[in-house]
Structure 1
Amino acid sequence: MKKFFKLLGILVLSLIVSGTVFYFVKNEALPEGKKGKEADALAIKMLNAINHEAFENTEVIEWSFRGTNFYKWHKEKNSVEVSWGENKVILNTKQLNKSEVFVKNEKVENPEILKKAHDYFNNDSFWLVAPYKIFDAGTERSIVNHDGKEALLVTYTSGGSTPGDSYLWILDENYIPTSYKMWTSIIPIGGVSATWSDWKNTESGIKLPTTHTLSLFGMQIPMGTVKAYNPNANALAHKILKAINHEAYQNTTFLEWSFGGRRSFKWDKKKHIAAVSWESFRVNLHTKDIDKSTVFFDGEKQEITDEKIVKRAWDIFNNDSFWLVAPHKLFDKDVIRTLQKVDGKDALHVKYMSGGSTPGDSYLWELDSAFVPKSWKMYVPSMKMKGVSATWEDWITTESGTLLPTNHTFESGGTLSMGEVKGYN
């Protein structure tokens, strides 16, 4: 027995010594940084890189934490469904006393489960959306030199379940976080790092991580099936499409129109070929394979295709067709839809993250009582447009059954005619 206790003592002592050595080898002191405008400027670059504006407008976020805790967060309602095991809590993030607790689907009064749900949410949501919280109340930001590059140190002086924690964000050349180092009360070793690299581009436009890997023993933190979306904005977009008979638009073969009397078009949507005409030029533009396009001058086909003319036709088509069919493009790839209020009524904000000639442009659609667009406000950085408005008026029902506009009026008083608009099969 004495030998057993002696061996046990040696084992415990070895573990203590090993732990102490590991602590002093791995433990890092909290770095000192420089606070002020430069730190805030770096933080803003980081927020822009991950589309913080879209985060503010996101309606619902879903994820799980290590396969045990599951979440559906209704951000605009300040409500989150937290579930684990046999427990489910409808957590009111602003007024905890209005939360509801369920055990085996039966409503109960259980402060301990409610507190646990609140603590779970604070921790597990931080592992999902921490980059979006760097300007929360009670945060301090500093610039730190890390491996010869600028990194952002964020300290939470209040809020959450563990105020006083600090995180050093490591950024790539586009200011997107790739990892952070942690100095927290629940991890005794300072400077433990975790990856923020397995990003997912969500429907609402925000970037969210799908997993993290910790430097401490290579621990994995999976975030499950991550989703972020805007059901209310999507519902309004579907009402618009129904109002303008988008189904008929999808089945329309030919569209014809002109643009301010300067350019004219005949678009074969099925074959993806648009005849674009202006001045003495006509380009048969292959919209899916631009290299197949052909150029005509004064009605004669040019044997050598001028790439500049084709590029000009491409830009003209992208711009002028958008003024005809933009409301039919609400669910194009990489389109972010969010709901906004204008004069107390729902309006649809649409941002195009890719495609066209100027990706990044956005438009705020105002609707009539039947959900047909009556005007939009344009936010086009390349043209320095910040909310310039124009009407969408004189809609017609084409032969194919879809609705298209024939005129626009700008806030300056100028007008834009779409000419004789046709849609047919």
Structure 2
Amino acid sequence: MVPNSCKLYHKKSSYVKTICIILCAVVVLSSCASSQSKEDVINKIWNGAGGKKTWQNSRFLTFVFAPQKEGKTLASRSHLWDRYTGDYRFETKTEENENLLVLFNVNTQKGISYLNGKTLPDSLNKKEIKNAYGYFINDSYWLLAPLKLEDEGVKVTLNQPEIIEGTSCEVLHLAFGNVGITPGDQYWLYVDSETGHIKRWKFLLEGTKEPGIFNWTNYKDLGGGLILATQKQTIDKSFAITFPIASVLIDVERNKFTKK
């Protein structure tokens, strides 16, 4: 018969061993996290998206940017992009529910605009091309942000890892110096340590005080192995940026960029 004091000792010993194992695991995880460089995390993101070569081979990209509030679609903007030439087709509805089509080149920012099928005069044409270019920058970034970390002028730093909804995440902070339309914007990407997918992003836009926080979901293969999130939703789920259409196309007729 084992004395009660011995039983108590064995229980305490087992408890101490358990605590030691947990502490060791924490130390190991912390060590692994601290050994990660920002380059390691960026490479993990590329792998999660299908790889750099996959993106390089994705010439034609089409997507629809559709923000939703409490389940109601607020707008729908259609994009078709030849990444090799910069040619672009942008379509949307105006506030007056008229059909706007802008055919332009994102590199030269020159092109032609149509309202309800009619060519706009030069002054309005320049305005609509400028607006379309702004939508291109904004809407494509919501879809392609993980692929733009190594763009010229982007400053990436690695923050301490965090746990997001039970998922271990590396955290990257992005700043832009004097690059882009709104260079004062800041972003934080929370990267799933296992998959390399963005679990969440937080941003503080130029001139604002309150950050936006969105969870990234609905990861899909857009074609050719390019994997991206097609929904970004606020934590309270009241607002979302959705991409009901997002595809890599093998080929596109050239007149899509030249004819209405």
Q: Normalization by structure 1: what TM-score?
A: 0.43
2:44 to 239, 242, 249: 239
- Partner deviation per Cα, 1:40-74 (whole Å, 9 max, x = no partner): xxxxxxxxxxxxxxxxxxxxxxxxxxxxxxxxxxx
2 CA distance for matches of 1:405 and 1:305? 37
Q: Do 1:263 and 1:276's aligned partners in 2 also have CA atoms closer than 8 Å?
A: yes
Deviation at 1:233, TM superposition (A): 1.0
Q: Do 2:100 and 2:115's aligned partners in 1 also have CA atoms closer than 8 Å?
A: yes
Amino acid at match of 2:79: F
Deviation at 1:305, TM superposition (A): 5.4
**Are 1:300 and 2:125 counterparts?**
no
Q: Do 1:336 and 1:351's aligned partners in 2 also have CA atoms closer than 8 Å?
A: yes
**Are 1:277 and 2:85 counterparts?**
no
**Are 1:410 and 2:234 counterparts?**
yes
The equivalent of 1:312 in structure 2 is 131
Amino acid at match of 2:107: K
SS class of match (2:218): coil
1 CA distance for matches of 2:132 and 2:208? 19
Which stretches of structure 1, 4 residues or more, deviate above 6 A after TM superposition? none
The equivalent of 1:252 in structure 2 is 58
SS class of match (2:128): helix
Q: Normalization by structure 2: what TM-score?
A: 0.69
2:107 to 270, 275, 288: 288
**Are 1:363 and 2:187 counterparts?**
yes
Deviation at 1:281, TM superposition (A): 1.0
- Partner deviation per Cα, 1:208-259 (whole Å, 9 max, x = no partner): xxxxxxxxxxxxxxxxxxxxxxx81122112111210232112111111111
Deviation at 1:315, TM superposition (A): 1.1
Q: Do 1:255 and 1:269's aligned partners in 2 also have CA atoms closer than 8 Å?
A: yes
Deviation at 1:333, TM superposition (A): 0.2
Deviation at 1:404, TM superposition (A): 2.0
SS class of match (1:393): strand
SS class of match (1:309): helix
Q: 1:320 to 1:273 in 2, by over 3 A?
A: same
2 CA distance for matches of 1:304 and 1:352? 33
SS class of match (2:207): helix
Which structure would you say has the larger Rg? 1
SS class of match (2:181): coil
The equivalent of 1:177 in structure 2 is none
1:2-401 equivalences in 2 (<5 Å): 232-245=37-50, 246-260=52-66, 261-279=75-93, 280-290=99-109, 292-302=110-120, 304=122, 306=124, 307-343=126-162, 345-368=169-192, 369-386=194-211, 388-401=212-225
Q: Do 1:358 and 1:382's aligned partners in 2 also have CA atoms closer than 8 Å?
A: no
2 CA distance for matches of 1:418 and 1:354? 29
Q: Do 1:396 and 1:406's aligned partners in 2 also have CA atoms closer than 8 Å?
A: yes
SS class of match (2:37): helix
SS class of match (1:274): strand
RMSD: 2.0
Deviation at 1:356, TM superposition (A): 3.0
Deviation at 1:384, TM superposition (A): 3.4
Q: Do 1:295 and 1:305's aligned partners in 2 also have CA atoms closer than 8 Å?
A: no
Amino acid at match of 1:294: I
2 CA distance for matches of 1:409 and 1:242? 23
Q: Do 2:162 and 2:171's aligned partners in 1 also have CA atoms closer than 8 Å?
A: no
2 CA distance for matches of 1:377 and 1:287? 27
Q: Do 2:175 and 2:184's aligned partners in 1 also have CA atoms closer than 8 Å?
A: yes
Amino acid at match of 2:184: G
The equivalent of 1:224 in structure 2 is none
Identity within the alignment, %: 25
Q: Do 1:408 and 1:416's aligned partners in 2 also have CA atoms closer than 8 Å?
A: yes
Deviation at 1:412, TM superposition (A): 4.0
1 CA distance for matches of 2:90 and 2:210? 26
What 5-or-longer segments of structure 1 have no aligned partner? 1-76, 78-230
Q: 1:277 to 1:354 in 2, by over 3 A?
A: farther
Deviation at 1:308, TM superposition (A): 1.5
2 CA distance for matches of 1:233 and 1:381? 24
SS class of match (1:242): helix
2 CA distance for matches of 1:410 and 1:274? 30
Q: Do 2:100 and 2:114's aligned partners in 1 also have CA atoms closer than 8 Å?
A: yes
Query: Relative contact order: is structure 1 or structure 2 higher (C-alpha 8 Å, sep ≥ 6)?
Result: 2
1 CA distance for matches of 2:176 and 2:183? 6
